[in-house]
Amino acid sequence: MEIVFVCTGNTCRSPLAESIAKSLTDNHVFTSRGVFAMDGMPASHHTQQIIADYQLPSATMSAAFQPVDSEKDLILTMTAGHRDTIRAMYPSSNVFTLIEYVSGISRDIQDPYGGDYDIYHSTFMELKENITKLLTKIDEN
């Protein structure tokens, strides 16, 4: 299964989600994109630090969401706004917020942008919990 994680700039939440998912399984292909990303930007400092602290696979450079991404098996966004933007542009895409997909609850993943390490770590823990649920769900189907 090909899964793409999406946030705003593809420097905080989505690359962290991609790294977490890659660290937990080799059964699926994971990428990350941003709805307003500038191609080639590195992950934020705190995202890189958390990836190093937990010995996760390195984050990829930022990339903007493209039409080919809309054809992935599953598109998981960090917010309802990201989901709605993609649905408006690509109505046939299989897109949900991450929490909506795993729990059926409409809630966003907090954006740590501009925050300190503790905020990024809190986002990391929230992502790890939900990605663990995601893998359980998709591997059972």
CB 8 within 8 A of CB 111: yes
Residue 28 carries which side chain, given as an amino acid letter? H
Give catalytic residue positions.
7, 13, 111
CB 78 within 8 A of CB 108: yes
* Residue 140, both tokens: 């059972």
**Cα separations (Å) of 115 from 36, 47, 97?**
19, 11, 22
Task: Count the residues in the chain.
Answer: 141
